[in-house]
Copies of this chain bind each other. A is one copy, B any other.
Amino acid sequence: MITGTVVGNVWSTRRLAEIPNGAFLEIALDNTSATIVAFDVLGTGIGERVLVSTGSVAATWFGGQTPPIDALIIGSIDAPNADSSTPQSKAKTRSTQK
């Protein structure tokens, strides 16, 4: 999985009919200046840090007739102060992302 921050919505009115319900969100990836667009079914908002799975597993999640979706937000990353039980491992995580 890759990590990043939601920075905006992408709107597409003219699109394939097989796109499921959900939102296209633009993700600024950590450790790089690149952005990708991931599909969201969790109601994730702008500014949230997220875990994104890419490739065919994103489509397979929908089951049945898989949609042409190649990136899916699978979770929102907890903020550092949301869980104070493991400060050290979290500190290490942050320091590697600069």
A residues near B (Cβ < 8 Å) are 1-3, 7-16, 18-19, 24, 26, 28, 30-39, 41-42, 46, 51, 53-61, 63, 65-72, 74-78, 82-83, 86, 89-90, 92-94, 96-97
Contacts and interface: CB of A to CB of B under 8 A. Distances in A.
A67 to B, nearest CB: 8
A56 B58 CA distance: 9
A19 B76 CA distance: 13
5 contacts: A1-B70, A12-B74, A16-B42, A26-B96, A60-B66
Given A10-B77, A26-B96, A69-B74, 20 more contacts: A1-B70, A7-B93, A8-B90, A8-B92, A8-B94, A8-B96, A9-B89, A9-B93, A11-B78, A12-B51, A12-B78, A13-B76, A16-B42, A16-B61, A24-B75, A32-B34, A56-B56, A57-B68, A58-B68, A63-B65
A66 B75 contact: no
